[in-house]
Structure 1
Amino acid sequence: MIRLAERQDLDRIMEIWLEGNLQAHDFVDPDYWTGCFQEVREAIVQADVWVWDENDRVEAFAGMVEHYLAGLFVSGAQRGKGIGGLLLEHIKEQRFPLTLHVYSRNAGAVQFYERHGFGTVSEYIDPETGQPEREMIFPPRS
Structure 2
Amino acid sequence: MIRVFEESDMDALVAIWYEGSLQAHHFIDADYWESQIMDMREKYIPMSETHVLTTHSKVIGFISMVDNYLAALFIDTECQNKGAGKQLLDFEKERKSTIQLKVYKENLSAIRFYKKNSFVIKEELTDEQTEQREYLMEWNGSSYIS
The two structures have a TM-score, normalised by structure 1, of 0.96
The aligned counterpart of 1:52 is: 53
The aligned counterpart of 1:109 is 110
Deviation at 1:139, TM superposition (A): 1.6
1:130 matched to 2:125? The reply is no
Please give the alpha-carbon distance, in whole angstroms, between the structure 2 residues aligned to 1:49 and 1:40.
Answer: 12
Separation in 2 of the partners of 1:108 and 1:117? Answer: 15
d(CA) in 2 for partners of 1:4, 1:106: 28
In the alignment, the residues of structure 1 paired with residue 47 and residue 57 of structure 2 have an alpha-carbon distance, to the nearest angstrom, of 23
Work out the number of aligned pairs and report it: 142
For residues 20 and 97 of structure 2, what CA distance do their matches in structure 1 show? 26
1:25 partner amino acid? H
Measured after TM superposition, the shift of residue 86 of structure 1 is: 0.6
Aligned equivalents of 1:46, 1:129: Cα separation in 2: 22
CA deviations over 1:49-80 (Å, ceiling 9, x no partner):
11111111100000001110001000011001
Q: Which residue of 1 aligns with 2:23?
A: 23
2:13 corresponds to:
13
Residue 91 of structure 1 aligns with an amino acid whose one-letter code is E
1:119 maps to which residue? 120
Shift, 1:46, TM fit = 2.0
Paired with 2:81 and 2:23, the residues of 1 have a C-alpha distance of 14
1:110, CA displacement in angstroms?
A: 0.3
Partner of 1:88: 89
- Runs of 5+ in structure 1 lacking a partner? none
- Any idea what SS the aligned residue of 1:134 has? strand
CA distance in 2 between counterparts of 1:96 and 1:139 reads 6
| Identical residues among aligned pairs (%) | 38
| RMSD, matched Cα | 1.5
Task: For residue 45 of structure 1, report the CA deviation from its aligned partner.
Answer: 1.4
Letter paired with 1:110: I
Moved over 4 A (4+): none
Letter in 2 for 1:106: N
